[in-house]
Structure 1
């Protein structure tokens, strides 16, 4: 599987903002490069933040990590469905409702990162099982057309987006 995101004829609406954050690598190389441990490598700073937020109503670091786990699970489900020629529209999800009901702040940072690593390993196996034909298949998720390949790159770019938010908005809280 050597297809890069720049090889796609067009990027899906909305998700293009995540895909463009990924280096132009083959999908499996990107999934291996942008691991949870690589994206959130500054454990001391993350631990020091605890449950601080940069503004009222914003998510804690733990809630954000749970959101990344939930999103990866949902996106890989979508990829599986589309790869198998699912013709129906796949549902969306309300990220704020998921975050509010996750109880992420009752867990440890280490536990969340371990879970995300397990989820990523399952994602790696799933995407490695797809043929080139399956990767090119498109389906409808939450009213948007997206390919299996694009979903793979979203799995890399979505956490990069949140890591940038952590660096820009949360790390300044540490003084």
Structure 2
């Protein structure tokens, strides 16, 4: 995707493209599912509810955040794909995390739910033809093609998996 393909280029889109690298959406989605399947559950269980800094989310909340936001992005994709006409509003991730019960759930449950949600996302994007994938999505602050929503989902996972690896896994390795 070239920057010229969007009317109002969202600032985060360049980061999305960098994280995904030079891959097609279908490949990005399949790779992201593979990365979910390769999560080291025992390592995440060892981290438990530790955080690398005061007021940061637990790994449980990060996983719930990925699940919640994937569902939000998929809802947005369906609205645009079906020509419903609504412009999706912004959502507050901090409020959502605060009101989640992620810390009451096991890592296994959260990873399994993330896997199922991703499988559903893959099926949804596979159902879209090129015309749908190229639809211009007009959000509250920016525009981007519908296929970029799928790349945003995969980049979001890459971003948070990197944080877990770089900041949380070190908590158990330093002991």
Is the structural similarity TM-score above 0.5? yes
Query: How far is 1:39 from its partner?
Result: 7.4
| Residues 49 and 142 of structure 1: CA distance in aligned 2, closer, same or farther (over 3 Å) | farther
Shift of 1:23: 2.8
- For 1:156, the equivalent position in structure 2 comes to 154
Per mean C-alpha deviation after superposition, the further-off stretch among 59-68 and 87-96 is 87-96
**Hey, what's the Cα distance between the residues in 2 that align with 1:106 and 1:6?**
43
- Secondary structure (helix, strand or coil) at the match of 2:144 reads strand
Match of 1:69 in 2: 67
Paired with 1:171 and 1:26, the residues of 2 have a C-alpha distance of 30
SS at 1:146 equivalent: strand
Q: How does 1:53-64 map to 2 (within 5 A)?
A: 53-64=51-62
Q: Is residue 134 from structure 1 mapped to residue 132 from structure 2 by the alignment?
A: yes
Shift of 1:38: 3.8
Deviates more, 1:79-88 or 1:92-101: 79-88
1:13-32 Cα shifts (integer Å, max 9, x gaps): 32331232013122111101
Counterpart in 2 of 1:112? 110
Q: Which residue of 1 aligns with 2:20?
A: 22
Secondary structure, counterpart of 1:93 in structure 2? coil
- 5+ unaligned residues in a row in structure 2: which ranges? none
Q: CA RMSD in A?
A: 2.0
Q: TM-score, normalised by structure 2?
A: 0.89
Instruction: Measure, in 2, the Cα distance between the counterparts of 1:47 and 1:142.
Output: 38
Note closer, same or farther for the CA distance 1:118–1:78 as it changes in structure 2 (3 Å cut): same
Structure 1 residue aligned with 2:5: 9
Aligned length: 171
Q: Conserved in 2, the CA contact under 8 Å of 1:36 and 1:116?
A: no
Question: Unpaired segments of 5 or more residues in structure 1?
Answer: none
- Please give the TM-score of this superposition, normalised by the length of structure 1: 0.89
Contact 2:25 2:151 in 1 (8 A): yes
Specify the SS of the correspondent of 2:120. Answer: helix
